[in-house]
């Protein structure tokens, strides 16, 4: 282990910090998309408003000593406030690095407070590439109650580190297979959860859970959902509802529930013991699998609406499924509450559809909204949106209100607005009536020659080829009710980003790029 602190101070400071229990502050962003439900809604935010967000500026940009692994570099930021450090109480921003690191930065200045280098005693069998990069991939998660941040190293071991010092408090304990491609961590009542995909490191696709409440008995539980394929690779990893269930959407493969094969589906399992409880599988799952239109390309979002608990899910087919979280597909497991097709008329498996994750927000009028990041142009069969903010040849964000169908009285999605052009959008986050979204600028092409039927032979592009024809990422602030652009960052972020996300806390927005730099945007000071 390497940290910036001398051992003597670390021991003394850690003994002192153990005497206090840190409660979650309103300025925290503890996990990917803010909360276990992956809503992306910073409901505590009060500094940023639609009236002042146009005065954002780049506050700081910090380069970190981390070597990108294929397309991956830094994970999405997470934030903790009121953290006891060597230099007093601070708000810290944390990112994990693909090259087996985790970093803690001062939110006020961007200066490095501590860093931790994971130690690995194994080597990968195969050389890494963008499909299996052999690097840290999962966004860490913060446990405010114990002042701990959890992260998975490349060897699959889970570490629990002190928020203020980087001292090891839990583990390292083997959690997932070494060099597996695991996704954003989630946390509920002492259990840390993740999900895996692509078979990297020989890992079977499924849910993984580890009980961190007793550091000497860190029991691990798994739920494998496919023998091949079926990867859970939505950016947010597993989604935890407020109803005692954990959810995920799965990728391509066989659907044979009698054999435990649940590809092309939305799954629900119990928290803790990970018993499969329910599933939804669309009737056209064979077509979805044939054309590589993974439902697992985006994480679902869990939210409540009137007397319903709902799950909204979508994938590369660009069909949004609105599901009853208590009864995903009704009795036949294939009947959703509502569906709508938004994009990807050509059924392409790259650069089209819904990627990353969906988001949700409830405004002051108690109206529930759902936001969908779209790659590629809008479908000719998409519903009419009352507000459009210009042509969208590359991609956009679509906004819906949740409403009731006039005849069935079941929940539906009512189209409201389409943003301007994004190339390409990540999952959005929402704060105080503002939608923050980043246009990644990445090259999304995966193969040298695209074709409709993915059973045809294709040549995967190399890492170097996918780094070509990239553009700089751009941060946008949109009016959450109209999609009107209130701010854009221009060339403040000179590089691109792949499979990341934003964090918003205490009037500041945090982002990363592929060159292992962390960015902070905040309001200009009044003169």
Q: Cα dist. 312→51, 439, 454 in Å?
A: 30, 22, 27
- Eight-class DSSP state of 209: E
pLDDT of 25 over the 60 cut: no
> What pLDDT is recorded for position 449?
61
- Bridge partners, residue 247, by sequence: 239, 268
pTM passes above 0.85:
yes
53 in any annotated domain: yes
Band of pLDDT at residue 131, cut at 50, 70 and 90: confident
2 in any annotated domain: no
- Eight-class DSSP state of 140: P
**Rounded to whole angstroms, how far apart are CA atoms 381 and 271?**
38
36 in any annotated domain: yes
150 is written with which tokens? 């959890």
> What pLDDT is recorded for position 450?
52
Contact 417, 388 (CB under 8 A): yes
pLDDT of 345 over the 80 cut: yes
pLDDT of 11 over the 80 cut: no
**Rounded to whole angstroms, how far apart are CA atoms 359 and 75?**
19
251 is written with which tokens? 């990728």
- Bridge partners, residue 312, by sequence: 301, 322
Give the largest Cα separation in the chain, rounded.
70
14 in any annotated domain: no
**Rounded to whole angstroms, how far apart are CA atoms 425 and 497?**
11
403 is written with which tokens? 């409403």
Give me the domain span that covers residue 404: 24-446+461-523
Q: Cα dist. 218→162, 167, 215 in Å?
A: 18, 18, 6
154 is written with which tokens? 């490349």
Mean pLDDT of the residues in the chain: 92
Q: What is the pLDDT of residues 41-53, one digit of tens each?
A: 999 999 999 999 9
251 in any annotated domain: yes
User: Residue 451, Cβ neighbours under 10 Å: how many?
Assistant: 13
Contact 322, 336 (CB under 8 A): yes
User: How many domains does the chain contain in total?
Assistant: 1
402 in any annotated domain: yes
10 in any annotated domain: no
Band of pLDDT at residue 427, cut at 50, 70 and 90: very high
- Here the CATH number for the domain that contains residue 32 is 2.140.10.10
**Kind of pairing, strands 356-357 and 298-299?**
parallel
H or E, element range at 195: strand 191-197
- Eight-class DSSP state of 332: T
327 in any annotated domain: yes
For 479-488, what is the mean pLDDT? 98
* Residue 92 burial (C-beta neighbours within 10 Å; 0-12, 13-18, 19+): buried
């Amino acid at each position: 282990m390497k940290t910036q602190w001398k051992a003597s101070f670390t021991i003394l400071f850690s003994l002192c910090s153990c005497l206090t229990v840190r409660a979650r502050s309103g300025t925290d962003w503890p996990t990917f998309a803010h909360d276990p439900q992956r809503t992306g809604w910073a409901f505590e935010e009060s500094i940023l408003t639609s009236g002042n967000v146009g005065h954002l500026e780049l506050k700081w940009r910090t380069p970190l000593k981390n070597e990108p692994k294929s397309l991956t570099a830094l994970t999405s930021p997470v934030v903790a406030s009121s953290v006891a450090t060597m230099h007093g109480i601070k708000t810290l921003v944390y990112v994990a690095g693909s090259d087996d690191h985790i970093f803690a930065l001062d939110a006020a200045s961007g200066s490095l407070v501590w860093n931790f280098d994971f130690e690995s005693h194994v080597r990968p069998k195969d050389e890494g590439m963008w499909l299996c990069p052999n690097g840290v991939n999962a966004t860490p998660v913060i446990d405010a109650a114990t002042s701990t941040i959890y992260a998975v190293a490349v060897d699959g071991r889970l570490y629990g580190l002190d928020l203020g010092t980087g001292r090891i408090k839990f583990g390292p304990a083997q959690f997932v297979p070494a060099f597996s491609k695991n996704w954003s961590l989630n946390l509920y009542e002492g259990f840390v959860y993740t999900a895996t995909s692509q078979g990297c490191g020989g890992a079977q696709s499924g849910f993984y859970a580890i009980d961190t409440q007793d550091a000497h008995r860190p029991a691990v539980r798994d739920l494998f959902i496919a023998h091949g394929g079926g990867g859970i690779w939505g950016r947010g990893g597993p989604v935890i509802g407020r109803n005692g269930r954990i959810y995920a959407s799965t990728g391509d493969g066989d659907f044979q529930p009698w054999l435990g094969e649940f590809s092309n589906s939305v799954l629900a399992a119990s928290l803790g013991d990970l018993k499969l409880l329910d599933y939804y599988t669309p009737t056209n799952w064979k077509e979805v699998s044939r054309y590589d239109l993974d439902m697992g390309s985006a994480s679902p979002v869990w939210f409540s609406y009137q007397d319903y608990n709902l799950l909204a899910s979508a994938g590369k087919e660009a069909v949004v499924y609105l599901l009853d979280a208590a009864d995903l597909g009704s009795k036949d497991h294939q009947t959703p509450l509502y569906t709508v097709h938004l994009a990807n008329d050509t059924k392409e498996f790259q650069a089209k559809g819904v990627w990353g994750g969906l988001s949700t927000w409830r405004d002051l009028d108690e109206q529930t909204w759902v936001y969908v990041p779209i790659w590629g142009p809008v479908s000719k069969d998409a519903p009419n949106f009352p507000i459009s903010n210009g042509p969208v040849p590359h991609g956009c964000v679509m906004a819906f209100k949740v409403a009731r169908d006039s005849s069935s009285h079941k929940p539906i999605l009512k189209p409201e607005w389409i943003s301007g052009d994004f190339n390409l959008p990540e999952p959005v986050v929402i704060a105080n009536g503002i939608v923050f979204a980043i246009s990644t600028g990445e090259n999304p092409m995966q193969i040298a020659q695209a074709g409709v039927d993915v059973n045809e032979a294709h040549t995967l592009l190399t890492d170097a080829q996918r780094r070509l024809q990239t553009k700089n990422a751009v941060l946008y602030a949109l009016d959450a009710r109209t999609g009107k652009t209130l701010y854009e960052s221009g060339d403040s972020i000179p590089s691109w980003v792949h499979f990341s996300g934003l964090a918003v806390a205490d009037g500041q927005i945090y982002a990363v790029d592929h060159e292992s730099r962390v960015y902070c945007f905040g309001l200009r000071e009044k003169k």
